[in-house]
Amino acid sequence: MPRTPLTRAAVLRAAMELADADGLPALSMRAVARALGVEAMSLYHHVANKDAMLDGMVDEVFAAFHLPEIGAPWRAELRTRSVSARAVLHRHPWAVGLMDSRRNAGYETVRHHDAVLGCLRESGFSWELAGSAFALLDAHLYGFLVQELALPFEGEADLAELAGAMFDALPAGELPYFRGFATERALQPGYSFAPEFEIGLDLILDGLERRHLAQ
């Protein structure tokens, strides 16, 4: 049976699957080639090197974000964009530190940035305020994910065990506000850190809306 021809899309898909499973340290041209069942040299017909492969992977992640519709209500579009981006980055956590780091940004990356800026500009944002809004929304998106993905617990039982060990190590009678937040909020049934993302997002959108109306 003839082998299916290798394509750039197949190379990027295999690279992303490898990074999803094992993280960026596991990513190499040889590892991707091995996953595809080809020789490493075959990849160079489709991506120039590992750096170019990373450029393409980031572009694929941007392509999966909700693309704001220029001319539609800016707040709803950018809220949907942030929520969808968080979901995408949960599937590809290796991408969090790479999203705006690429010197050779791909078409989907630039297209996404154009749509965010266009949505803001066509809603009456000045260039200055559009830039500030974009920076603030991205700081919230990526910063929250760095914090969320690094949390040292999973689920209520794990959090309770961690908190118990932490309280045992703290001096008795000290740090009352930390203890109060833990017992009255974080250790209550049903607590999850995840909803803080949309709460923070709405606070940011509220502030941007006020600034937009006042400009």
Beta carbons within 10 angstroms of residue 191's beta carbon: 13
Q: Are residues 206 and 112 in the same domain?
A: yes
Q: Are residues 125 and 31 in the same domain?
A: no
pLDDT of residue 81: 98
Tokens at residue 158, please?
Answer: 């794990």
Q: Are residues 13 and 82 in the same domain?
A: no
Q: Are residues 40 and 78 in the same domain?
A: no
Residue 175 lies in a domain: yes
Residue 10 belongs to domain with CATH number: 1.10.10.60
Q: Are residues 92 and 165 in the same domain?
A: no
Q: Are residues 74 and 105 in the same domain?
A: yes
Q: Which of 62, 54, 78 is nearest to 111 (CA)?
A: 62
pLDDT of residue 23: 95
Q: How far is CA 145 from the centre of its chain?
A: 6
pTM of the model: 0.91
Report how far residue 84's alpha carbon sits from residue 82's, in angstroms, rounded to the nearest whole number. Answer: 5
Q: Are residues 29 and 80 in the same domain?
A: no
Residue 192 lies in a domain: no
- Mind listing the pLDDT tens digit of every residue in the chain (215 residues)? 346 689 999 999 999 999 999 999 999 999 999 999 999 999 999 999 999 999 999 999 999 999 999 999 999 999 999 999 999 999 999 999 999 898 999 999 999 999 999 999 999 999 999 999 999 999 999 999 999 999 998 888 999 998 889 988 989 889 999 999 999 999 999 999 999 999 999 999 999 999 999 98
pLDDT of residue 155: 86
Q: Are residues 25 and 74 in the same domain?
A: no
Q: Give the chain's domain count.
A: 3
Of 29, 47, 65, the one marking the end of a domain is 47
Report how far residue 166's alpha carbon sits from residue 48's, in angstroms, rounded to the nearest whole number. Answer: 49
Q: Are residues 36 and 62 in the same domain?
A: no
Which structural domain range is residue 178 located in? 155-186
